[in-house]
Structure 1
Amino acid sequence: MKLPEVISALVEAQDNFDGAAYADCFTESAVVFDEGKTHNGKKEIKHWIEKANREYQVTMKPLEYSEGEQTLKAEISGSFPGSPLVLSYKFGFKDKKIQSLRIVQ
């Protein structure tokens, strides 16, 4: 499956539990919506993903990407109840970086 370069980098950063590389996939003013919470800006996104990495050790396995809808379906596995799960990652892009990300089940 062919993924945009920034999404491939995001998956790799997630699988390596690299919060700095994960945050670098986003614009400075990016917004992430996950589990009913909003994370604003690169610094807050980095804090959010590093906390999640410490708690859950989540890895991602891309299953399907829709270029038109800019949505990735991925199986995530980790040390959380109900693992593994299939989640949808809905992206918005700006200048080849992620401007918005909404994660839903």
Structure 2
Amino acid sequence: MKLPKVITKLVEAQNQADSVAYANCFSETATVFDEGKTYKGKTDIEQWIANANENYKAVMQPLHFEEKETTSILKAEVSGTFPGSPVVLNYHLEIADGHIQSLKITT
């Protein structure tokens, strides 16, 4: 499966629990929506993923990727130390200038 470079970096950062590298995949003004909460900006995103990594030890295995108009969707199996693991999640991404502008994670 061919993924855009920034998404490959995102998956690698997640699987290495590297919150700094993960946050660096995002623009300075990016937003993330996950589990009913919105995180804004790289600092907020880095804190969110650092907490998630510490609590859930999640790793991603990409299953499918498609690009639609302005949004890309990555379907990935995510496993970790959370109830219901593993789960298949959809990552709705808006990418511009090599960085993620927005990410919404859904089931």
Q: Same fold (TM over 0.5)?
A: yes
Q: Which residue number corresponds to residue 62 of structure 2? A: 62
% identical aligned pairs: 55
Taking the aligned partners of 1:71 and 1:42, their CA distance within structure 2 comes to 21
Partner amino acid, structure 2, of 1:40: K
Alignment of 1:1-105 (within 5 A): 1-68=1-68, 69-105=71-107
TM-score, normalisation: structure 2: 0.97
Counterpart residue type for residue 97 of structure 2:
D
> CA shift at 1:93, angstroms?
1.2
User: What CA RMSD, in Å, does the superposition of the two structures yield over aligned residues?
Assistant: 0.6
**Amino acid in structure 2 at the alignment position of 1:19:** S
Counterpart of 1:48 in structure 2: which amino acid? W
Structure 1: distance between partners of 2:80 and 2:95: 27
Count of equivalent residues: 105
Q: TM-score, normalised by structure 1?
A: 0.98
Deviations 1:1-49 (A, max 9, x none): 0000000000000000000000000000000000000000000000000
Structure 1 residue 64: Cα displacement: 0.1
Consecutive unaligned residues of structure 2, counting only runs of 5 or more, are none
